[in-house]
Structures are given as structure tokens and as C-alpha cells.
Chains A and B, each alone.
Chain A
Amino acid sequence: MSENGFRSYYGRPILKEPTWTWEIPTYFFTGGVAGASAVLSTTAQLTGNEKLARTALYIGAAADLVSPALLISDLGRPERFLHMLRVVKVTSPMNIGSWVLLVSGGASNTAAALELVGRLKPVKLLAEGVSTLAGPLLATYTGVLVADTAVPVWHEARRELPWIFGASAAASAGAAASMFVHPRDAGPARRLAVAGVLAEGALMQVMERRLGTIGEVYRQGEAGTFSRAAKGLATAGAALLATRGRKSRGAAVLGGALVCAGELSLRWAVFKAGKQSARDPKYVVESQRQRIERDGTKATTKR
């Protein structure tokens, strides 16, 4: 019996820590950039903002190329990455995500290549349409991916995580475009970055409050460090974009870079929080004991 009243087996973890390495939180970021950039590009094109449309298309295509490389590198058997596509399985967010990434990456890179060579406009438009549909799924499914585990800080945040990841994706796509498009044409991108940062900040607050004790990992250890860095960097970047981003190219580049760094930190904060949550048996025992007190349990049978 520990001092705060829960019992465990020599303090050993009940769950296994996720084995994922640095590639996965980095992919959460690049996948977000890719997904939201596809939507940004198409919307810019529909409103006649060609420069923003083209840049966002290239950014999205690049992020869509990096993403599968990161995922393959994380596999225990990288040479078997195509095994992801031997089934279609709605009970596996990773399987569905692999298909979404294949469609999104294929479409955005087709569109970017055709844009580059300036040929086959109808095919390009079709590819853009496909990537615009796949993009929002790519940007948000990773929230379901982590929530669909036994890790308390992830599973109990299943309502908020896809929204947080979506907001973070919007912020990073807007920020990335702000860095590479002339401030004259980057207005929507800047607004997207600022709105994304604000939305994500509010959603993180909601999530941490609802998580209660389980959520304390976001204030401790490496997750705490990344969480604070995410808030600081994203807020500073958004403030810079909002105040000086329209007039100064330098401010737009710096602000965009800060927001991107903040969003990358946010993905790392969520990733590290999951590891810390799995490592300490108290989060599993206390949350399940609370549920038992509320609803009873059928896991054990006594007489």
C-alpha cells in the first residue's frame, strides 16, 4: 500500500509503455501540416489567391512525403510496411490512417507535380479535390489513434484529442504558409495560425480540467516541459503574426517558425504524457477504482 492509498505490484507498471520512438510525435506534426495545408490550398484557389494556393500545395505535398518515411522508420520491421495495406480494418485507426495517408499523399503529390510542370490541369484539380477530402481526416485521425489505447491520459481524453490535433494542424499549416508566402497574400494563413493557436489553447485547458488527476502528467516531467514550451512558443508566434506579420516579412517568418515549433512541442507533450501515464500504475488503478465505486464491476466475482 503506497502512501496515497492505492496498491500495486512493487510499483511496477500495469500497462506497457508505448514503444513508439521520436518519429511518431514528429509524424503527428507533419501529418497535421499536410492535412490542413491541403484544405488551405484548395480554399485559397477557390478565392483566387493563387500564390497562397500554390505554396500551401507544395508544403502539404512535402509534409505528405516526409510522413510515411517517418512511420516506416518507426516500424520494428520497416521492410514490411506494405503489410499495413493487406487489410481494411475500421477497428484499427492505424490501418485506416495508413489508407488515408496513402490517398492524401498520393493525391497531394500528384497535384504538386502537375502544378510544377504545368500540365494536365483537370487531373491536377481532381487530385486536389481528393487531397482536400482526405486532408482533414489525416489531420484529426491521429487523435483517435492515441485515444484508442488503454493509456489513461489518452483514452480518457478521447473527446478532446481529435479537436486538439485538428486545431494544432490548422495552426501549423497556417504558420508554415505564412513563412513562405509574401505577407500581402498570406492574410488567411496568418489568421488560420492565430485562430488555431487560440482554439488549441482553449481545448487543452478543457482537456486537462476534465482529466483531473490523470491529467497531472501534463504538468510533470518531460510532458510538462514540452507542454510549457508549446504554450510559450505558439503564443509568442501567434502574437508576432497578429501584430507584425502583415507588415514585416521577417516577423512573418519568425512568427510562423515559432508557431510551428510550438505545435511540434504540443505533439511531443501528448506523446510524452502517454508514456508517463502508462508508466505509473496509480493512473490505471485510481481511474478504474473510481469507475468501480460509481458503476460497480464485473471484472471480479465474489461470494
Chain B
Amino acid sequence: MSAPDGLLTYGDEQQKRVGFFTDTSVCIGCKACEVACKEWNLIPADGNTWTGESYDNTSALGANTWRHVAFIEQDKPVRTDQDGGTALRSRLEAPADEPSAPGPEDRGAPSTALRWLMESDVCKHCTHAACLDVCPTGALFRTEFGTVVVQQDICNGCGYCVPACPFGVLDKRHLAPAPDLPAFAKEDGRVWKCTLCYDRLKGGHEPACAKACPTKSIQFGPLDELREHADARLAKLTDDGWNGAQLYGRDPEDGVGGFGAFFLLLDEPEVYGLPPDPVVTTRDLPEMWTNMLAAAGALVVGVAATFVGRRS
């Protein structure tokens, strides 16, 4: 397993890389993770909006939402060997003395398939983290556990990590200023995101969301062990015919070098609001710097060229 950027600099203090495996196939949408996260990390309330989007009223990860439960209602069978629950329904509705009721197709009934997907999203703690790379102050750093954390006493709210993250995890917190701030300071102004409960890890505890999860949908542990669990789980779900089962962010060869917090999904990533093929933007940075030096050189040549010839 390739070590995440920066982890090896810890030497003797380096710990086993830990993370989350979020298995959405057992998520029941209780939002205990959202609540536990807010409580433990003292994340401020940021209003209440009724979105009408299934049971989701937090909508996205952000400065004040570090776990977000997505709800998707789909006209799609849960299992590939099912016709969308209609077979089951017709069996249940059939009179007891008529064991072989005709299938729905025979009756021309419309499909009543519905499945409800739930997924607790979180910062991915990327192996190659764009937010950490682009942070100009060093406020974002790699911890000894291989996670990515913002040092709130260093962050100056430049906002560069916000569009750099391929998952839209980080955002600036916009809340009224604390009374002891200088008059010219705006709001909170800093960037916030999941710390994978760095304080709890230091004390030997698991993160609050994993602790609160009643179904073990959120599993916390050493990343290599989680990957093994996930592989076994994917094999089982696939053998059982679950529709669309796939791991997301498990492969260390992906565009961000594998997620520290990865997922088992039941549909394509974009259905959950996740990018289908995220890439760390700084992968292309050496090429960008070279290209910029060429452009800078061309600027000098261009200016010099305007002085050639006519004198006017």
C-alpha cells in the first residue's frame, strides 16, 4: 500500500493509516452520524431548510456539515434477479389458495419498483490530497494517522482549497465574528472540514460518526483491513445479485491514490453527487509550471519585440 503524501515524514511517531469504509448497503438513513459529528466537533447550526429532496435537508458537505446522509429514491430493483419487487408484491397479494398467481407482465400491471438508497458522505482523506497540496499557509496538513486536517489557528481563509477539492468537501464558514476579533475581520472566514476526529484518534477512540452508527454502515479502522473487509463485502453482495454494487475509492491506483475514507455504493457515483473519476489537480502541476515559464519567457520576448525597428 503506497503511503499518503507526507506520512513518512513522521518517522517514529507515524501510526497505522486509518480511515472509514462506509458500506451504504446497510445504511438506514438515521443521520446519527450527522448528529454525533455536529455534537462532538461543536459544529455550529447553520439554519434549517426543507428541501423536498427525500429525507435530505442538509444537502451537501460543507463548512458546517462534515457527515452528510444522501437519500435517493429510485425506480430500480434492489437485486438484479428481481423484477423490481413486483413479483414479491404479487405473491403477497395473491389469494392463499392460488399459489401460482400470474406474473405482473401477464396482467399488464405497471412496475412498482422502488429502492431507497442512503449514503453517509464524508471527507475522503485522499492519499494525494489537492486541498493539502494547494494550501498556501500549511494550515492543511497530513496527520500521523494519514488523515488530512485543517489547523484552525493557521488558516487565513484564502479559499484555495475550496475549488481544489474534486469532491466539494471544503468550504468557508460564514458566521458572525467573535467579539474579540479585530474590526476588519470578516465573519469566521476560515475553512472547515472533517478531521476524522483527530482529537479522538489521539485519545485512542474511534471517530464520533462511526461510534454512533447503529448498523456498522460506517466502519473505522486501519485502512488495509477495511479494504479487505470491503472486498469480501463486495463479493458477497455481487454473488447475492445486488444491483449496481461497487466500491468507490478503494483502489490505490485511482486519480487521488485511493481514498482514506472509501465507500460501497449501489449505483454510479454521480447518482450520490460524487464525481465518477476524481483526479488530484496537482498531478498536472509540474507540466503547468513548465508551461507558465514558457509563457513568461514569451512575454519578455514579446515586449522586447515592440522596441525593434521603428523609433517613434
Q: How far is the CA of A155 from the CA of B172 in the complex (A)?
A: 21
Per the CB 8 Å criterion, the residue count for chain B at the interface is 92
B134/A91 in contact, CB under 8 A? yes
Task: Judge whether B310 and A170 touch: CB under 8 Å.
Answer: no
A219 at the interface (CB under 8 A from B): no
Given known pairs A76-B188, A76-B190, A191-B306, the reply for A298 and B255 (CB within 8 Å) is yes
Q: Cβ of B165 and Cβ of A150 under 8 Å apart?
A: yes
Q: Are A84 and B136 in contact (CB-based, < 8 A)?
A: yes
Chain A, Cβ-Cβ closest to B278: A299
Check if B155 is an interface residue, CB within 8 A of chain A.
yes
A166 to B255, CA, bound (A): 30
Query: Is A225 positioned at the interface, with any CB of B under 8 Å from its CB?
Result: no
Instruction: Give B138-182 interface residues, CB cut-off 8 Å to A.
Output: 138-139, 154-160, 162-172, 182
Which residue from chain A places its CB closest to the CB of B296 in the assembled complex?
Answer: A136
| Residues from chain B with Cβ under 8 Å of A83 in the complex | 137, 139, 154-156
Q: Is the CB of B295 within 8 A of A79?
A: no
* Size category of the binding interface on chain A: 35 or more
- Write the nearest CB–CB distance from B6 to chain A, whole angstroms: 11
**Which A residues lie within 8 Å of B162 (CB)?**
16-19
Q: Most chain-B Cβ atoms within 10 A of its Cβ — which of A43, A47, A49, A288?
A: A288
A300 contacts B276, C-beta separation under 8 Å = yes
Assess whether B213 is interfacial by the CB under 8 Å rule: no
In chain A, positions 155-179 with a C-beta closer than 8 Å to chain B are 155, 158-159, 162-163, 165-167, 169-170, 174
Within A133-158, the residues touching B (CB, 8 Å) are 136-137, 139-141, 143-145, 147-151, 154-155, 158
Neighbouring A residues of B130 by C-beta, 8 Å: 149-150
Task: Chain B residues near A155: list those with CB within 8 A.
Answer: 281, 284
Task: Please tell me if the beta carbons of A19 and B254 are within 8 angstroms of each other in the complex.
Answer: no
Q: What chain B residues lie within 8 Å of A150 (beta carbons)?
A: 130, 163-166, 275, 278, 281
Q: How far is the CA of A49 from the CA of B304 in the complex (A)?
A: 13
Which residues from chain A contact B99 at a C-beta distance below 8 Å? Answer: none
A/B interface sample: 29 pairs, CB < 8 A: A8-B271, A10-B273, A16-B171, A75-B156, A76-B159, A78-B156, A79-B182, A80-B157, A84-B137, A84-B158, A89-B138, A136-B299, A143-B292, A148-B281, A148-B284, A150-B163, A158-B291, A184-B312, A187-B310, A192-B306, A196-B302, A288-B278, A289-B277, A292-B276, A292-B277, A298-B253, A299-B277, A301-B234, A303-B234
In addition to A7-B268, A19-B171, A43-B307, 12 A-B residue pairs with Cβ atoms within 8 Å of each other are: A6-B270, A8-B270, A12-B60, A43-B303, A76-B156, A77-B155, A83-B155, A149-B134, A150-B164, A163-B295, A292-B276, A299-B275
Q: Which residues of B contact A (CB under 8 A)?
A: 51, 53, 56, 59-60, 62, 70, 72, 130, 133-139, 154-160, 162-172, 182, 184-191, 234-235, 238, 245-251, 253-255, 265, 268-278, 281-282, 284-285, 287-289, 291-292, 295-300, 302-307, 310-312
